[in-house]
Every structure is written in C-alpha cells, then in structure tokens.
Chain A
Amino acid sequence: MTKSLKKYFLVFTGPTLIAFLIAFIVPFFMGLYLSLTKFTTLTNAKWVGFDNYQTALTGNTGFVKALGFTALVSAISIITVNLGAFVLAYLLTRKLRGTNLFRSVFFMPNLIGGIVLGYTWQVMLNAILRHWGQTIVNDWRLGMAGLILLINWQLMGYMMIIYIAGLQNVPPELIEASQIDGAGKWMTLRHVTIPMVMPSITICLFLTLANTFKMYDQNLALTNGAPLKQTQMAALNIVDLMYKQVGKQGIAQAQAVIFFIIVSVIAVLQLRATRAKEVEA
C-alpha cells in the first residue's frame, strides 16, 4: 500500500499541488513583493521598501478604522451566529417532527452567493425601514445591524449542521450516566454535552471568525461602505483603495498583507484556546 502510494504520489497530488501553487503560493509571494513597491501593473513595479506599510497604518486610507469596524462586526456576529446555531442544533436533535425539513431550510441560505444575498436583503430591509423614513445607508448603525443580520442568516445554518454532527456524537451512555447521577437537563448540557462537542465549537468559531473577518461580497452589495465609509470592512477598504484611487496600489497591497497577518494570528490564537478545552470521552 505504502509502496503504491509512493509510486502514484505525484499523479494524485500533482494536479492539486500545481493548482495550489498557481492560485495561492505564487500570488502570495508576488503579493509580498508588490507590497514593497509602487506599481500600476504587475510588470512595472518600482521598489519603495516599507513606505507602503507606514502609509497603510498611519496614512489617511481609512484602513485602521475599517479594521476596527470589522472587529466589531465579527465580535458580535461570532457570538450571535454560534449561540443561534447551537440552539437550533440542540432543538433539531430532539425527537421532533420534521427536523430534516428544518435542517435543510436553515442550511439553504448558505448556498446563495454573497452578492445576491446582499442585494436581496438591501431591498427587503429598505422596504421595512421606509416606515420610519430611513434607509439602510442613512445611518451606520442601521448598516451594521443589517450586516450582522445578513451574516447570521447566512452562516447560522452551516454552523448548525456542524453542531448537529457534534451533538449526535455525544455517547448516549454518558448522558444516561449523568441523569442517573441526578443531573438535570441544564447540568447535563453544561457538564457533559458542551465539553463533548468542543471540537465542533472549535471548528465553528474558526469558520465564523474567518468568514466574517474577510467578508467582502455581502458588504459590497448591502452597504458598499456607506455612509461615508462608516460601514466599510477591511476587505472592501483594500479593494477600493486598489482600484478607486490613483497610484495607491502598493499601499493597498501592503494593507492586504497586514490583513492576512492579523487574520492568521487571531485564528491561531483562537484555535489554541478552544483546542485546549477539548476532552476525550
């Protein structure tokens, strides 16, 4: 088995490896290089060293503010998405009628693309807000609430599926044992179920974090940063700087690198923290 694996290693991993190289590794290193240059296209880059990084962090590009807003939106939606998903999963693993139907219904929004979702919700929310003479882009708080609502609607079903898988893997004998020992429903949940689904929590937190932090399409379609870039998230800020201002491509690229580092660091820290809480049955 190992021998034949070795023999066909390249045949099976080759295509993926090449694709990964072309679509990820090469652009990543090109990006690193470009972030240290001033460029219009990939071929006419001029070396400027770390100037771009300095401008990105201290200049008037709105990047730091966008990062702050991103963090705020992410923090709120990570909590709401995961709480909601867990509750849904908990309910849908009870013996109720039509759980399969509900599972599909809740999962469905995840299948729709972000741009479509954004525009659909924009129209719906604006129709509701019209009663108060408002629109979603009149006030940044409305825009933020809209974004969080959208994220919840899109991600909750997906996370729910993962939690359901986790809940179904909790050994029934553990639950039974705790009940025999006199634990109530709440005690069982708190001391048996949650520790046992910790791996699912790790995955879900990671996915929500990564998804909300680098969210772009939904932000573009729903508010496009309006009003006055107050609802502009980091990814949108980078793209806008790249294509809508003159001669700032290098700075935008530097911001992208900084953004990558921030997301990676947070993700690693979070993975460590929740992994530490995982237990064996």
Chain B
Amino acid sequence: MRPITRRSMLGGSAAVALAATLAACSNGSDSGDSGTGSVYFLNFKPEAEEVFKTIASTYTEKTGVQVKVVTAASGTYEQTLQTEVAKSNPPTIFNINGPVGLATWQDYALDISDADFVKDLTDPSMALTDDAGTVYGSPLATEGYGLIYNGEIMDAYFATDGAKASSIDEIKGFDKLKEVVEDMQSKKDELGIDGVFACTSFTPGEDWRWQTHLANYPIYYEFKDKGVTDTPDLELTYSDNYRQIFDLYLNNSTVEPSALSSKYVSDSMAEFALGKAAMVQNGNWAWSQISEVDGNVVKEDQIHFMPIYIGVDGEEDSGIALGTENFLSINSQASEADQQASIDFLNWLFMDAEAAKLLTDNSVVSMAPYSAFAELAPADPLGAEVVEYMNNDDLYPINWVFQTFPSQDFKDQVGQHLSQYASGAEDWDDVKNYFVEEWHAEKSA
C-alpha cells in the first residue's frame, strides 16, 4: 500500500466533500424513489407557515409520505412560484389567484375534476374552472369582508339625543347608513372618537381594500345585471354608487383626505382597535390584527360585521362579501406519483375532521367550503360571523368577482387614481375612465 501523501489526502477529502454535497442534493430532490411520491407545498400565507409545517409533520407521521412546505415572503408569491416551478424538483401543490392567475398557469395546472376533495365541495361553484368547466383549482378557505363595527360605540350613539337610528338592524341600505354616519361624525367628540371610519389607507401597496374589495361591489352588480361572470367591455354602470360610498369613507374619517396616501392598513386597524373609529372596512382576517394591537379596547363580543351598502335597489337583502381568492392547484408537470401523493394529502387536509380542526383552530382558515368544516366553529369572532352570514339564506352574498380584474398592475393603478381623487388632484371621471379603458385594453390584449 502506497503511503498517503498530504496532497492525495487533500484531494481525497475534497472529492469526498464534493460527493457528499452531490449526494445531499440528489437526496433532497429525489425522495420519490420508492414510488410513493412526495408532496411539495408552496404556501402563499406567510402567517400560516408554522401551522402548515405542523400539519405536514402530522401527515408524515400518519402516512410516512414526505411533505415539504416552502413559504413565499409576503408579496413575492408570483416571483417565488416562477422560479420554483422551473426547478427540477418543482412544487406539487401551489396557489393560483383566480381566473387571471389560471391564464398564466394553465400549462402547469392539473385537471382535478375527479379528485375526492373537489367532489366534496359544499358549493361546487367555488372551484376554479376554465370555460369548459374543467376544475383546475380548489379553494383553501372561504373568507368574508364587510364593514367591521364596534358595537359599544354604536350603542353609545343610538343612545344619544336625536340619533338617526335606534339599533344596528335599522341600517339597511346606503341612505340610512349615510344618515347615521354623518350624524355620528358630527357627534364625534361626544362619542369620544376621531371619526366614524378608520383612515382610508393609500400608501402604495396598502390600497387593496379600495381598489380590490370595494371595487368588487360595482362590478358584482354590473355582472349580475348583465348575467355574466366576466366581460371585456366593462361600463362601470355603478360608478356613482362606487363614488358615493367612497366619499362617505373619505368625508367621515379620522384623518384628512390629503393625508391618506401616507396611511397603512395597520394604521386604520390600530385606530379601530383603540376605539378611535367606530367602523372599518376589512375582512375576517383582520381579527388577529385588531386583537394584537397594544391597548386594544374593542371587546371580543362587541365586534361585528355589517354589509357594505352602496345604494343599489334591493341591497337590504345583501350580506357581506363572501368568496375566496386562493385556489390550490396540483402541478401537472410533476411526476405522477407526486401528483397522486399531493391529491391524497389534500383529500386528507380537507376531508379529515382532525386535519380540518388543525386549520380552523390555528386560524389559517375560519371556514372552508368542504363538508368536514361544517361542524367546526371558527375560533375568532369575525370568523364566526362569516359562518353566520354564510348560513343565512335570507341574504344574498356578494361574490368575490375581483378575481376577474385584469392584473395586479391594473388594481394598483386604480388605487393610484382613487388616491389622486381623494387628495383632490383628479376628478372622479378620471378614475372611471381609467377603470373602463384599461380594463378593456388589458382584457383584449
């Protein structure tokens, strides 16, 4: 045997290190060797990362199937997905953001019409389908948004002299809402608030409550009138309704309209949590934000949802806006074993009582449209209200049609125009024209 020189030792250890690295790489990328397949879940919700990791390890313990969870940083999901999908070991489950997202990711979305969890949907229309009705995505959660109000402040107002209403039940429709809000605003010192509505946040990137959620209303009613689910020729027939609710927010707020472009959503949630505002437009996910504010004065049983009224005939029968934005899809380019493993995982996640409980208990979802969730009570007060509205057959829900908005850029620019309108630099016509023209331009591109 030849004595080992220093050089060959160096070379040898380098080779070993290299081999180890390569082996580690291939190990990581190829756990599907055994033919059972593995799951790689690309998660959209940073706040739910820990929960999904727990869920993944629970599933692995039960079945032995590896589940990898990767979470994209807030606001970078599209970038992360684009790079991850191009890798040799792509995500097997990823999120698609409505029909517009499906147009981008069509090549990567598997037809899951026959998957058990899709068949288990309590409302089949919640699934993401193409024009032919083939299912490509299934919702992760049902969520709702509307006007969140502080019951204590409202009761204090109803007790004042000359109050325009005596209880919240009398507010059914825009006219009454306006009357009450304007009266409340004039009595704001008496009520101990800075304004009725928390500030209308318009810092770039913080305007989704107006350019997406509020903009959903005029579009929803227009689609409803025309009996369509999407259109390249939007007229914004409810433009004036959009304007009047937006004006109501601006004029009865805690801050001057010109300062809004420096306000964040967290500012408005803090105002609400500290009792400086009586109402705020947001969704059930806002509960965690409200409850986490230091010095929070809003009591858990005094926080409720009210529908947003924009002054449309028959709107007294409308509920809050219910829907979903994120659909889970299976990667059609993944190996068949991985696809099957992913479907099995989602079957378990949505159909198994224990798995469903893991999701609701940790507030990842308050509610999901699968039968296993029917019996579960959401842990937070706003989630519970969403369930109540869902089960209320007397009210029609406002569907989330904003999934059909042409692009994120479109929404951002609508937000910019709204912000310019709020600060007085633009007329409402500019907002409307942009909405209609850009909608047409992007939809027919």
Contacts and interface: CB of A to CB of B under 8 A. Distances in A.
Given A42-B86, A227-B419, A244-B412, A135 B261 contact: yes
A42 B262 CA distance: 38
Nearest to A231: B204
A226 B86 contact: no
Nearest to A223: B204
Contact of B413 (A42, A137, A228, A243): A228
B256 A245 contact: no
B419 A137 contact: yes
A59 to B, nearest CB: 9
Interface in B83-112: 83, 85-86, 100, 103-105, 107-108
B259 A135 contact: yes
Contact of A247 (B82, B103, B261, B412): B103
Interface string B398-422: 0000000011111011001101100
A134 interface: yes
B50 interface: no
Given A227-B425, A246-B406, A135 B258 contact: yes
B256 A227 contact: no
B103 A246 contact: yes
A85 B365 CA distance: 54
A95 interface: no
Contact of A244 (B105, B108, B409): B409
Contacts of A122: 262
Contact of A245 (B83, B108, B260, B442): B442
Contact of A135 (B262, B413, B417): B262
Contact of B79 (A60, A133, A243): A243
B113 interface: no
B259 A41 contact: no
Interface string B410-438: 10110011011001010000000000000
A136 interface: yes
Interface size for chain B: under 10, 10 to 19, 20 to 34, or 35 or more residues?
35 or more
Contact of B105 (A40, A136, A138, A229): A40
Given A60-B441, A244-B409, A247-B103, A41 B85 contact: yes
Contacts of A133: 256, 258-259
Given A126-B262, A136-B262, A223-B204, A40 B82 contact: yes
Contact of B425 (A43, A139, A229, A247): A139
A278 interface: no
What class of interface size applies to chain A in its complex with B?
Answer: 20 to 34
B425 A246 contact: no
A51 interface: no
Contact of A246 (B82, B203, B256, B407): B407
B430 to A, nearest CB: 9
A13 interface: no
A93 B406 CA distance: 58
A227 B416 contact: yes
Interface string A225-244: 11111000000000011011
Contacts of B108: 40-41
Contacts of A139: 425
A229 B410 CA distance: 12
A57 B195 CA distance: 48
Given A40-B105, A137-B419, A245-B442, A224 B409 contact: no
Contacts of B419: 137-138, 226-227
A137 B261 contact: yes
Contacts of B423: 135, 138
Given A40-B105, A223-B204, A243-B78, A228 B262 contact: no
The residue among A136, A229, A245 with the most chain B CB atoms within 10 A of its own CB is A245
B420 to A, nearest CB: 6
Interface in B251-276: 256, 258-262
Contact of B204 (A60, A126, A130, A225): A225
A17 B248 CA distance: 62
B205 interface: yes
B407 to A, nearest CB: 5
Contacts of B256: 133
A40 B90 CA distance: 14
Interface of A: 40-44, 60, 122, 126, 130, 133-139, 223-229, 240-241, 243-247, 249
Interface of B: 78-79, 82-83, 85-86, 100, 103-105, 107-108, 202-205, 256, 258-262, 406-410, 412-413, 416-417, 419-420, 423, 425, 441-442, 445
Given A40-B104, A224-B205, 16 more contacts: A40-B107, A40-B108, A41-B82, A41-B85, A41-B86, A133-B256, A133-B258, A134-B258, A135-B258, A137-B419, A138-B261, A223-B204, A224-B204, A244-B78, A244-B412, A246-B103
24 contacts: A40-B107, A41-B82, A60-B441, A130-B262, A133-B258, A135-B259, A135-B260, A135-B261, A135-B423, A136-B261, A137-B261, A137-B262, A138-B420, A139-B425, A225-B204, A226-B204, A227-B261, A227-B420, A241-B409, A246-B104, A246-B406, A246-B407, A246-B442, A247-B103
